[in-house]
Structure 1
Amino acid sequence: MVSIKDIAKQAGVSISTVSYALNGSPKVTSETSAKILAIAKELNYIPNAAARQLKKQESRIIGAFLTDFTGAFYGDLLQGMKEVLNRKGYDLIVCSGMQSHRLLPERMIDGAIILDSTFSDEELLDYADRGHKLVVLDRELNHPAVNQVLLDNKAGANLAMDYLIGTGHRKLYVVSGPADTFDSRQRMIAVRQTLDRHPELEAIIIEGDFNKGSGEEAGRIILERNEGPAGVFCLNDEMAIGLYNYAASKGVRIGEEISLVGFDNIDLTQYLEPRLATIDYSKYRWGAMASEQLLRIIGGEEVEHERIYVSLIEADSVQRRSAD
């Protein structure tokens, strides 16, 4: 690999002069700089990014850490992150898996946006103690170097449950998400609080995993019980679509025998007929806000925690029932 020492030797100048020229310093005359740059191009010189990063103490790269890439959820979220960062001269890399955690202690990135359950709270707090700048989307952490941009999961779950109850449903199923995810835990807290306020309801919790397959399995369980009309709240749209498809395969029309509400308002829901009722929020805005907050922290500004608010989209997948 060609080094600046090789360029200096061919140009007949010092290593420091080559370094100044490559970095555009006015300490080198335009003639000398042009000569050095021409030799660097001729030798196919590639700058050592790691060395340059150590010198400048920045990479101009932000890492977004995700648990996985499955489902239709992440596109708008990542686009919101990317556009804000690009406008400020930063690039975004998207990471998943335990090995990617090394990017933080090795300081290959200037900051991180975390939506990744493989990080423990203790690990993130340790990074924050060592000066790393973090924004978390999937947990509550109290640290001056960590900002929270959290989805209002509890409000969304309350809206979904109140919608089913308000349309006369007294028999309810709830399809939960993975127990190790913040969003699922928060939504289930709100679900149980709602059920505590309505002891007259019959409610059954079915364990899911936020993937379409678990929605299909929930649909099988519900239809096998065959106990008449019911209201179902799936804690995300992926599972709701799985349940929707399973019901359709068995000749059961959503909105008639089963009323169904999802959560996330992913693009696929708008193509269902009848349309799926769901909880809506701007995934683009969530990602953009995360990037904005992180850049403020990197810039030394004080920031407050932010919350992404939600709303209910009513649709024909939920039909009003007469009270039992």
Structure 2
Amino acid sequence: MVSIKDIAKKAGVSISTVSYALNGSPKVTKETSERIQAIAKELNYIPSAAARSLKKRETKIIGIYLTNYSGAFYGELLQGMMETLSKNGYELIVCSGKESHRFLPERMIDGAIILDATYETEELLSHAERGHKLVVMDRRMDHPNISQVLLDNKAGATLAIDHLAEKGHRKIYVLKGPEISFDARQRLEAVQKAVQRYSQVEYIELDGDFNKPSGEAAAKKIHQEFSEPVGVFCLNDEMAIGMYNYFSRTNLRIGEDVHIIGFDNIEVSQYIQPRLATINYSKHKWGSLASELLINLIKKKKPEHERINVSLIEGDSVRNR
């Protein structure tokens, strides 16, 4: 690999002169700088990103840490992040797994956005203590180097239960999410509180994992127990779509026998029939705001705690009992 020593030797100048020229320093004349740039191009010189970031103490790269890449959830979220970062001169990389945790302490990225339940809070705090800038989207944290932007999960879950109850449903299943998920825990807590207001409602919890197979498994159990029309709140849309898949192979009809509401309003929700009732929020705005808060931290502004509002989208998957 060609180094600046090779360029300096061919140009007949010092290594420091080559460094100044390649970094656009006014310490070298325009003529010398152009000659050195031409030699670098001729030798196919590629500057070391690691060395450059150590010198400038920045990479202009932000990492988003995700638990996994499955499902239809992440597209709009990442697009919102990318657009905001791009406007501010940053690029985005998607990270997952333990090996990528070294990117922060090794300063391979300038900051990180966290939506990864497997990233331990203690480890994040240790990074923050060392001055690294973070935005968390999946937990509450209080630190001068950490901002947070969270969904209003509790309001959304309450809207869903109220909608089913107001439509006259007296038997309500709730399909839970993975226990490791902050959003799933928040939604379930709100559900458990909301159903207490409806003494006439029979409330049943089913295990789920935020994916279609767990939705199908839960639908099978509901089918086996079916004796009257029921309401179902799936804590995300992926599981609701899994239920659609299962019930399409049975004599039970969604919106007539089984009334389903989801959470997330992913794109496919508006195209399936009957249209899925769900809890909506702007994933694009969520991602954009997370990026904005991180840039503010990098600019040494104070940490902020923001919330993303939610709303109910009615659909024919939930009708009057």
TM-score grouping bracket, smaller chain normalisation:
over 0.9
1:141 — aligned with what?
141
Q: Which runs of 4+ in 1 moved over 6 A?
A: none
For residues 212-270 of structure 1, what are the alpha-carbon distances to aligned partners after superposition, in whole Å with 9 as ceiling and x for unaligned? Answer: 00000111000110221000000000000100111111132100001110000000111
1:166 and 1:286 mapped to 2: Cα distance?
A: 30
Residue 231 of structure 2 contacts residue 260 of structure 2 at CA under 8 Å; is this kept in 1?
yes
1:24 — aligned with what?
24
2:65 — aligned with what?
65
For 1:142, what is the secondary structure of its paired residue?
A: coil
Q: Return 5+ residue gaps in structure 1 as ranges.
A: none
For residues 286-316 of structure 1, what are the alpha-carbon distances to aligned partners after superposition, in whole Å with 9 as ceiling and x for unaligned? Answer: 0000000000010011242100000000111
1:98 and 1:117 mapped to 2: Cα distance?
A: 12
1:297 — aligned with what?
297
Matches within 5 A, 1:132-281: 132-281=132-281
TM-score if structure 1 supplies the norm length? 0.98
Q: Which amino acid is 1:150 matched to?
A: L
Residue 146 of structure 2 contacts residue 303 of structure 2 at CA under 8 Å; is this kept in 1?
no
CA drift at 1:23 = 0.6
2:269 and 2:48 mapped to 1: Cα distance?
A: 47
Residue 170 of structure 2 contacts residue 201 of structure 2 at CA under 8 Å; is this kept in 1?
yes
For residues 40-62 of structure 1, what are the alpha-carbon distances to aligned partners after superposition, in whole Å with 9 as ceiling and x for unaligned? Answer: 11111110111111110000000
Percent same amino acid among aligned pairs?
A: 64
CA drift at 1:29 = 1.1
1:46 — aligned with what?
46
Count of aligned positions: 321
CA drift at 1:145 = 0.7
241-250 vs 131-140, which moves further:
241-250
CA drift at 1:128 = 0.5
2:247 and 2:273 mapped to 1: Cα distance?
A: 13
132-141 vs 26-35, which moves further:
26-35
Residue 282 in structure 1 maps to residue 286 in structure 2: no
1:89 and 1:148 mapped to 2: Cα distance?
A: 22
CA RMSD, aligned part only?
Answer: 0.8
Q: Which amino acid is 1:276 matched to?
A: L
For residues 127-174 of structure 1, what are the alpha-carbon distances to aligned partners after superposition, in whole Å with 9 as ceiling and x for unaligned? Answer: 100101000000001111111100000000000000000110010100
For residues 162-209 of structure 1, what are the alpha-carbon distances to aligned partners after superposition, in whole Å with 9 as ceiling and x for unaligned? Answer: 000011001010000000100000000001101222233111100000
For 1:52, what is the secondary structure of its paired residue?
A: helix
2:316 — aligned with what?
316
1:308 and 1:25 mapped to 2: Cα distance?
A: 44
1:161 and 1:297 mapped to 2: Cα distance?
A: 37
TM-score if structure 2 supplies the norm length? 0.99
Q: Which amino acid is 1:206 matched to?
A: L
For 2:108, what is the secondary structure of its paired residue?
A: coil
Q: Which amino acid is 1:287 matched to?
A: G
